[in-house]
Amino acid sequence: MTASPTLAISRRMRLRGATNGLHESIDSRIRQSGFLTTPAGYERYLRATLRARQAIEAGLDAGGAQAVYPPWPARKIAPALALDISDLGGGPPGDVQCAPPSSPFSLGSIWGALYVLEGSAVGARLLLRQAAILGFTPQFGARHLARQTTAPSAWKDFVAALNEVQLTCDQDAACVEGAITTFVCFDRAYAQMNDG
C-alpha cells in the first residue's frame, strides 16, 4: 500500500518548508564567499563540499540507504569530489564538525538526508557551467558535477519514491530532522572553509 498523493505532497512540502531557510543561507554563503568565481575559491568549495558529503554519505551507507533507495550507490559523489580536489593539487579536506542525524541513519532520516543530496543535484547543471568558465570539465576538476547531471530524471524519480514511501509519524519526524541536520552539516562546512 502506498501513501496517498495528498500525504506524499505534504511530506515533500514539509521538508521544503522546514529547510527553506537553511537552503537560502547556504546559497547566500556560497554566492558571497566567491567560491565559484576563482580557481582558489572553487577549490575551497570542493573541499567544503567533500567534508560534508563524506560525513553524510558514510552515515547513509552505515544506515543501509541502498536497501531503502536502490539508486543510492550511483548517486554518491564523494570519490569524484576527492579526484576533483586532486586535479587542483589539493590534499585531503580534513574533518568537519557535523554529525549525521543518527549513526547509522534511521529509515526516516535516510529519506531526509537523501532529499537534501538529491535536491543539490538539481542545481549541478548551473554549477557545471560556472566551473567550465573557470576551466574545469567533467574530466578535470568538475567530475562530481558531471556525475550529478548524468541522470536527468533522478530528482523526479527520487520525489516519486519519497511520495510513495510509508513512514510512521516518528519516522516522518525523523525524515524532517534528517533533512535539517544534513543542511546544517553543509552550512557548517561552508562556513568553516570560508572562515579558514
- Radius of gyration of the CA atoms of the chain, in A: 16
Cα–Cα distance measured from residue 32 to residue 34, given in angstroms and rounded to the nearest whole number: 6
CA dist., res. 75 & res. 80, Å (int): 11
Distance between CA atoms of residues 122 and 148, nearest Å: 8
Which H helix or E strand runs over 56? Answer: helix 39-63
Q: How high is the pLDDT of residue 1?
A: 41
Q: What is the pLDDT along the chain (196 residues), one digit of tens a residue?
A: 444 444 445 788 889 999 999 999 999 888 888 888 999 999 999 999 999 999 999 999 999 999 999 999 999 999 999 999 999 987 766 554 555 544 578 999 999 999 999 999 998 999 999 999 999 999 999 999 999 999 889 999 999 899 889 999 999 999 999 999 999 999 999 988 766 5
Domain extent at residue 37: 5-195
Segments of the chain assigned E as strands = none
Q: What size, in residues, is the chain?
A: 196
What's the CA angle centered on 47, arms 46 and 49, to 5 degrees? Answer: 65
**CATH number for the domain harbouring residue 148:** 1.20.910.10
| Cα 12 to Cα 163: distance, rounded to the nearest angstrom | 7
CA distance 80 to 179: 23
User: What is the tally of structural domains in the chain?
Assistant: 1
CB 78 within 8 A of CB 50: yes
Give pLDDT, residue 3.
46
Q: Specify the pLDDT at position 2.
A: 45
Give residue 196's pLDDT.
52
